[in-house]
Each structure stands twice: as C-alpha cells, then as structure tokens.
Structure 1
Amino acid sequence: MSPVRITTVDGQSVAVTSATDTIPAWTQRYLGSWWTAERTTELYGPTVSADLAEDELRGYADVVEQRTPDTVEYAGAELLVAQDADLITAVQADRSLAYRWDPDFRLLRITGTDETTLAAAAARLTRELLRAQLLEDGWHILHASAVTTTDGATILTLGDKGAGKTTTALTLARAGWRLLANDRVFARVDNDGIVRVLPWPSAAAFGFGLLDALDLYETVRTRLAAGEQMHPTQHQAVTDALLDGRRTPLWKTSGKELKPQFWPDQLTSWLSMPLATEGHVVGVLYPQITAGAEPRLIDGVRGVQDGDFFTAATEDRYPDVFGLLPAPGDHTALREHLDSLAHQGVAMSHDAAANALALKEAVARLGA
C-alpha cells in the first residue's frame, strides 16, 4: 500500500509510510473517519515511518543501553528514553517497539516485531504529530463530548469524570444528532468570536451498561457473532462476554472497567451514529448522573474549569517523551467565550428513555 497522508480540515497533515500494508491501512481507518486520509507519493512535512524490523529494533536498543536513559510509563508499559544531540531514541521492551525522532527531518521512525502493536503505535503517534500542529495553531483540547446538526451547530458537554459526557453524546446521537466527540475535542476561538470545534479521532469504548441502556447491546453482539471484528485492542474477556450475552460489567484489578471498543467507522456502520468532522459551539450542557434520580433540568451550572482542559501535564498514558508538543497556550479567551454561550445543567439517571426526554428539553433551552 502506498503512503497515506492524514489531513485535518484546517490543513495540518502527517504522512504515514511502511513496507507493511497493514500500517498505513490501520492509520487510515483509525483517523480517516474524522480527518481526511488519502494515498500519497509526497512525503513532505512530518512523517511516521513504521516497519517490522527486528535487526533495527535491536540496534535502537543498543543505542539506548549505551547511554543513561530516562524511564517513563508510556501506554501502560516501561519506556527507556535516551537523547543524543537532537535525536531521541526510545525502546519499549515489553511491547517489542523502538522509536527514533529526528526533529530536523520531522521523521518519527518506529520499529517492532508484532504487526498489530506496530500499527497501533503508528496511528497513535500520527495523531500526536497532528495534535502538535493543531496546538501550535492555537487549538486547545477539552475533556468534552460534542454533537452537531447537519449545518455544524454544536452542543458541547462538559463535566467531571463520570458526570455523563459520553451518555449525553450517545443519547443525542441516537436522537439524530451527529457525533463529533465522546471524550475529547479540539476547540479554538476564531477571529469572529465563534468557538470552532474539531474531533479528537480515537477508538471508542462504551460500557456494557450504556450499550444495554441505549438498546445497542444486541446489535453489537449479533454483528460480533456473525464474524465481524471489533477493535483489536479490545480485551478478550469483553469479546467472550459479548458472545455469551453477558451484560455484567468487567473490571481490571486496577478498578478500571473493561469496555467494548469500536473502530471509529463502526460508530456509524454498527451503531447508526453519523460522524461530524467539525462544528461551531452554540451551547454547553453540564450533566450529572445519579442512580435512581429523576432526570430533570437544573440551574446553577459550574461553568468551564481548568480541569476541563486536556494538556500534556494531565495526560498520564502518553507523556510527550519526544518533545513534540508546544508550550501550553493561554485558554482564557476560550474559557470566557464558552461561559458566555447558552448553558444548561441536566440531571440524569440510568433510565435511557427518561434521559432522552430531559436532554431534548435541555437542548431546546439552549435554542438548538
């Protein structure tokens, strides 16, 4: 497969190349539902080059061993990082992955021995290179979900962890809105004072309870039983539970829930949720979920907080070990613009039908 170029609606781009067809194809599927993914022969600008190359992997490991590397936690595994002049070399022995970043050529080289692991790493770091360009251009990342109308009018949903951002987005998507984000979103105030939003492409993870409440569990189970595949990083215990029809949530020893994971395109093809590629914010929802509560509108919402902004300092799974990201920008203007827009609080429960009615009323209050 020829190299693939991933391009945002604002024109930032990264090329992905490999001798293994799976690598650019994975990146194309992972990011192409929200950003443009096209085959290319031109490798200008930032490039991710990823290949199955055991000898090269060992060579990078030797480079790191000859220095005094830093040790960091990266994607749930130990990463050894060494710098020589401007070159940054890193090795993740548990994943059989090695990386080298050359900032002069804006080339990120990734080598490994497992195709799936290598493909996932290439897609993730392609997104990181695009993220860096977007941040340089004044965009910020919010912990938020977002849905849009066909003309781009967007409802943004903010709240603390567990407040119901994903539940709000999926409920509205089931009601006919386009899904732009279920967890994170890029946002920027343009010169005309409009808050624009772009998606943060990623696989989507939804718990058994939410799928069941939205009447989507059997749809997923049926397609999986027919031989279709979900995202390859989904835990086997989740796949087994779906095939067996078990709905009881599964948990890691760390206390984190194991969830079904979907490729972005499966949100549309499996769950019938059309995706949006950009939008402009017309209102903000602040949900809160309480088991057994009666869904209703609430006043006195908290407003935008510093914790709503996603930064390198708050990212715990993928620290910026290659120095790709610019210094954090001032988000004061974005915060003030969001707070000036129509906003509404909504209390929700685990009753999907009642939640849908409350959200319909909340959205109407926002004038959307």
Structure 2
Amino acid sequence: MNALSLTADQRVVTIHSNTPGVTDWATKYFGRYWKASPPEGSTAVTGPVVTVMDGDHRVPVGGSHTQHAVFAREPIGYTRHPDGTVSAHTLSGPPLAFQYAPAEQHLRISSQRALQPAASPGRPTRLATAATRFAREMMRARLIADGWVLLHASAVVFPGGRALLALGGSGAGKTTTALTLASTGAALLANDCCFARPNTDGMLDLLPWPAAAAVGLGLLHALTFTESARSHLQTGEPPHPTQDRRVTDALTTGLAGALVSASGRELKAHIWPDQLTRWFGLSLATTGSAAAVLLPRVTPSLGAPGQANEGRRLEVTSSVFVISDEERYPDLFGFTEGSAAGTPRARAEVLDHLNRLPRQAIDLSHDQAANTLLLTALTASLIPAVSPSLLLES
C-alpha cells in the first residue's frame, strides 16, 4: 500500500491507497500548504485515515439512499445508519463507494473496477480527486475540534510573520488584494479561505486552506501573469481539472478579456499553489499572525479611482465564517458533527479579535498600478514594520 501523512498544526490525516496515483495527487494537492510526506516509523497510525482501493471487485455498487447531495459537482446518495456509520455512492459512473466508521475515524473509498488514467497526463482520476477532497474535510474537522475556524479571507504574510487579512464574500476583491501584495514581495498564505485561532500570546494565528486559486483573466493580465501561463500550457502542462475549457483556450492563445458563462458567472483560471510559485514566482507562507484587516470592494465603474473608504462600516460580522452547507463541500459524513463553522466559543473569540485589529475599508479600481500603490501604502500604515518602498522594489 502507498501511504501519505498530511500535517497541519500537529494534526495528522493519513491516506492509504493501492495505487500511487492517489498519493501522488494528494502530495501535489496539499504539499505547498500542509506538510505531505510518507508516515514516519512503523507505529500504528493514529487519527483520521482515508483508505482508497482502485479495482476492488468486492465493493457493492448501486442501491438506494435516504439522502442526496452534490459534493464538488458530484451527485452523491448517502445513508446515515443507526450505528453511526455512513454509506454512500456517487450517482454518476463509474460509481465510487464510500464507507465511513466514525468510531475509527476511517473513511474507505472504493471503485469496483479500475479507473482508467485521465486522458491528459497529469490529471487525477475521480478516485484521486475524491480522496484528496475528503481527506481535506477530515483535517478541517480536526482543526475545528481544536478551536480553529475557517474564514472567507485572503492573507499575505510579511517578514516576521505579521499577516494582512482581506475579508469579504465572493467578488469582494480578496484575490486582487492578496495577489497584488504577493506580486510585490509578500508571501501568499490564502487566496480565498484560511483558518484562524487566537493563541495564548493574544495573537490571531492563521493556517492555509489548500485549494486552487480562482483568478479572473483580467486580473491575470493586469498582474502580467498571462504570458507565463500561456508558455506553460503550450508546453503541455495540464490545466486544473475543473477549469473551463474556454479559459484554457483563452490562456493558451493569449486572449486577455474577461470570460462570462451563459448564466453571467465569470469564468476564471484555476491555479494550483505550486503553479503560483513555478509560473509566477510568488512566495507562499504556511503560517502567520494577523496584524491588520482590509475590507475590500471592487468598484463597478471602470473609471472609478481606488481609495480608502472612510464611510463604510468596519465591523466584522459572522458572515466572515465559512460553513459547509453554503459551499461546494457539504458535510455528508458528519465529520464536524454540525460544527462546520467552528464552535460558538471559537467564533466569538475570533470575531472579537478581528474587531480589535486595525481595519480599513477600501474600494479597488480596475487600474492595477493604482491598486498596487494604494495597497502598499495602506499596508505600511496598518502594519508599520512593513515598508512600502521595500514592497514596491521587490
């Protein structure tokens, strides 16, 4: 069996698989933000375990379930049994089967017939994708039990570990804020979500939430990243498996304009953390302590200037917390036992801390040079140890 341990804040989730493609993909998926390495020693594994079997002919396929949900666009039927165990199957073929034993914190994922390798080299099988996503959910549950909460936030870290958080919902400008500051020398800890927990020294610690960065084509172009992306894709590096083909085509041919789906949703490039480093030369951080908060908003008018907004409310509210049911990853197996947003005490402590940090509301414009000047100046005012000249010279 192939084995991989994932470590975040001293918590460990282990993946076992009869195919190396699963553990290899998990290493890529987590490696830049959570420590991903072979288990140390030969002692018995403690903590949550995901066991993945490809081509296990003993796995029953089909059957009816009492509940249904969509997990990362995958329809799944599942049943929670009186003894606490949960069984599930994907409702699209070839089906994957799941069995979760909460007493053992053990999730088994199986495919009855061996899944064919993806058509494009470097892309994961459905089994590898399921294993990494559910392993991440199991780690989320462990961190939540330890008092962490997951925030709608981007975060960059400066020398000394001091971090700047940008808070807000989808489209608020978190990605613009984080990638702009990362492109000027800060280390990127989070593009869209991160964990937070107060420590005994009165600081608010941060941990990354491993995920691809969803970046609009206009922002990639404004950051002068499109040429590097085009070069890598043209040499055969596969795009993210969920990236819309129209985005890949635009990147490959060098088109820079925004793409919008028929429903009006902006189509974005999906960039792995390791690609942020290899393609664009950005540094990544694995920890930090929040020192200040920005509350960005992208102004709708193309000609509107970017500026600090002194009239906008600065209070951070409970909307900053990520809860499982509002996202693409509902808690099918009850990993968090109904506490996907963190415990009430943890949420209250984090909110109190966020509202005691220096905070500034900002309106970002479509002028990237102006955004860069605004963000570096505000960073220096909110975190005096950070020099704007140092950032702009990076």
- Residue 383 (structure 2) pairs with residue 333 (structure 1): no
Q: What is the correspondence of 1:105-254 to structure 2 with a 5 Å cutoff?
A: 105-112=104-111, 113=115, 116-254=125-263
- Aligned-partner Cα distance in 2 for 1:56–1:235: 36
Q: 1:361 aligns with which of 377, 380, 385?
A: 377
Determine if contact 2:109/2:131 at 8 Å carries over to the other structure.
Answer: yes
1:28-61 CA-partner distances (Å, limit 9, x unpaired): 111110111111255332111112226345x043
1:190-230 CA-partner distances (Å, limit 9, x unpaired): 12211111000112221111100111111100111122223
Change (3 A) 1:161 1:233: closer
- Aligned-partner Cα distance in 1 for 2:261–2:108: 32
Query: Please, which runs of 5 or more residues in structure 1 have no aligned partner?
Result: none
Partner secondary structure for residue 206 of structure 1 = strand
- Residue 18 (structure 2) pairs with residue 6 (structure 1): no
Aligned residues: 361
1:66-89 CA-partner distances (Å, limit 9, x unpaired): xx5212222223211123322211
Determine if contact 1:346/1:362 at 8 Å carries over to the other structure.
Answer: no
Determine if contact 2:15/2:135 at 8 Å carries over to the other structure.
Answer: yes
Q: Which residue of 2 aligns with 1:77?
A: 74
1:249-282 CA-partner distances (Å, limit 9, x unpaired): 3333443332222221111111111110010011
Partner secondary structure for residue 259 of structure 1 = strand
Partner secondary structure for residue 118 of structure 1 = helix
Partner secondary structure for residue 151 of structure 1 = coil
Q: What is the correspondence of 1:19-98 to structure 2 with a 5 Å cutoff?
A: 19-40=18-39, 42-53=44-55, 55-57=57-59, 59-61=60-62, 64-65=63-64, 68-84=65-81, 85-95=83-93, 96-98=95-97
- Aligned-partner Cα distance in 2 for 1:119–1:255: 31
- Residue 353 (structure 2) pairs with residue 351 (structure 1): no
Q: Which residue of 2 aligns with 1:306?
A: 318
Q: TM-score, normalised by structure 1?
A: 0.93
Q: Which residue of 1 aligns with 2:308?
A: 297
- Aligned-partner Cα distance in 1 for 2:320–2:32: 25
Structure 2 letter corresponding to 1:2: N
- Aligned-partner Cα distance in 1 for 2:54–2:116: 7
Determine if contact 1:60/1:90 at 8 Å carries over to the other structure.
Answer: no
Determine if contact 2:314/2:360 at 8 Å carries over to the other structure.
Answer: no
- Aligned-partner Cα distance in 1 for 2:5–2:155: 26
- Aligned-partner Cα distance in 2 for 1:271–1:36: 22
Q: Which residue of 1 aligns with 2:292?
A: 283
Moved over 6 A (4+): none
Partner secondary structure for residue 156 of structure 2 = strand
- Aligned-partner Cα distance in 1 for 2:370–2:276: 23
Change (3 A) 1:111 1:249: farther
Q: TM-score, normalised by structure 2?
A: 0.87
- Aligned-partner Cα distance in 1 for 2:198–2:116: 42
Query: Please, which runs of 5 or more residues in structure 2 have no aligned partner?
Result: 118-124, 387-394
- Aligned-partner Cα distance in 2 for 1:77–1:47: 22
- Aligned-partner Cα distance in 1 for 2:169–2:48: 35
Root mean square deviation, CA, Å? 1.8
Change (3 A) 1:126 1:114: farther
